[in-house]
Amino acid sequence: MSRLFGTDGVRGLAGLDITAESALALAQGAALVLGRTARQEGRRPVAVVARDPRISGEFITAAVSAGLASSGVDVLDAGVIPTPAAAFLVADIGADFGVMVSASHNPAPDNGIKFFATGGRKLPDAIEDEIELALTATPLRPIGAEVGTVHRFSDAEDRYLVHLLGTLDVSLAGLHVALDCAHGAAAGVSPRAFADAGAKVTIMGNDPDGININREVGSTHLEQLRELVRSSGADFGIAHDGDADRCLAIDANGSVVDGDQIMALLAVAQKRRGRLAQDTLVATVMSNLGLKVAMDEHGIALVQTAVGDRYVLEALGEYGLSLGGEQSGHIIFSDHATTGDGILTGLQIAAEMVRSGRSLAELASVMTVYPQVLVNVSGVDRLGLRGNQPIADAVARAEAELGSDGRVLLRPSGTEKMVRVMVEAQERHVARTIAEELAALVRRELSVTA
């Protein structure tokens, strides 16, 4: 049977894959596993529950809260706040765990349930597997005074805002930022954070109605923000996704500054200020080759992980590092957060613009983006990639042809009959030619019949 938990919690179509019944049962299973330590210590577990503003979040959150409270867990309902805010609050108040109801950058019909352990950290696979196994166990059935309570976490957003502002050592006065809040969880707190830090703020995507989250706005749809930056004369723009755990940027010229470029400019700035732990950055294997080249030029080591912010987090913790992230805009500042935080990232970009007196375009120029071509080869035996000698030989020849001026990466999909072929080179036509040749070979070697 397939695993219930995916790369970032449990995801699916709300009302079909994620129902009130399944959400309640999942919460009861989580109460058994994540509340175990508190019960062993003779105290009642406490959980923070939050959501993004998509319409299905209301019934799912209610079901989660019911499942927890009926299992003897005291619930603090933080309402609509960003995912990184939920993680922060778990750590800030010393809660036993947290639950975030969100499907991030996905459209409104989707939703998801993710859990945070003590300290606001993502769950390891083994604990997720325990929760899944607990779904077959008898739920806790406390009665009387042992039943959990559900209370409103009244100052949740204010606590998070104070935390964000506390990461800044400069005023943002004189900066003009355009914000795209994706009609999502950032709509309330992101404009407040930038304004309270002193910036002039022009806002879009800040009118969530439950069904417009991520619709033609946010970090996956940058066109409107680009126009807003130009029309408003903003110094730069920040685009969040639905739960505000990521951000991408637009410079004053209308050019996109992606997660790799954001990591590059922040890593260089932090090294210069003596704030980059061990002068090392963490990124995934999908980051652009230009990031590695830029880090080499500035004497910064690069640790690369598998794709997924959880692997970036693991590497940050394992090696005691302070900065890492993904090309998609999940940037993690381990000194300040336990997960990607799009608002924190935007504030740190703005702070560096102020400190340096340079534009975002100038800061981002620290990295040259290599042309990257990605070809998804579907209908193939993804597991057959490993050990296929003709493909391995072809990759070796391509790498030899590119030398230090390019890169080849073949990755099997985690769930589909698909292999992803990615090639980077100094010239796009070279990358395209090699990618298409490798894709054709993968299709011949690994094709499967229906």
What's the rounded mean pLDDT across residues 25-54?
A: 98
The pLDDT score that the predictor gives to residue 3 is: 83
**Average of pLDDT values for 404-417?**
85
pLDDT band at 1 (very low <50, low <70, confident <90, very high): low
What mean pLDDT do residues 361-374 have?
95
**331: β partners:** 325
How many CA atoms are closer than 13 Å to the CA of 136, on its beta-carbon side? 5
Site of tokens 């795209």? 180
pLDDT at 6: 85
Which pLDDT score is estimated for 309?
86
Query: Do 13 and 109 touch, CB atoms closer than 8 A?
Result: yes
**Tokens matching residue 144:** 């009387």
What are residue 188's phi and psi, to 5 degrees? -85, -50
Mapping DSSP to helix (H, G, I), strand (E, B) and coil, where does residue 237 land?
strand
| pLDDT on residue 449 | 58
- Contact call for residues 100 and 86 (beta carbons, < 8 A): yes
Q: DSSP per residue over 147-160, as a string? A: S--EEE-TTHHHHH
Q: Alpha-carbon Rg of the chain, whole angstroms?
A: 23
pTM: 0.92
Q: What percent of the chain has pLDDT over 90?
A: 92
Per-residue pLDDT reduced to its tens digit, 336-347: 999 999 999 999
Contact between residue 191 and residue 205 where contact means Cβ atoms under 8 Å apart: no
Read off the pLDDT of residues 231-259 as tens digits, 9 standing for 90 and up. Answer: 999 999 999 999 999 999 999 999 999 99
Residue 414 has pLDDT above 80, yes or no: no
Residue 415: pLDDT band (50, 70, 90) is low
For residue 308, name the pLDDT band (cuts at 50, 70, 90): confident
DSSP bridge pairs for 259: none
Mean pLDDT across 312-338: 96
Q: Which residues are catalytic?
A: 104
Q: What is the mean pLDDT of the chain?
A: 95
Summarised one tens digit per residue, pLDDT across range 136-185 is 999 999 999 999 999 999 999 999 999 999 999 999 999 999 999 999 99
Q: What is the mean pLDDT of residues 389-409?
A: 93
Q: Let me know: does 391 contact 410? Beta carbons within 8 Å.
A: yes
The per-residue pLDDT for 334 is: 96
pLDDT of residue 450: 43
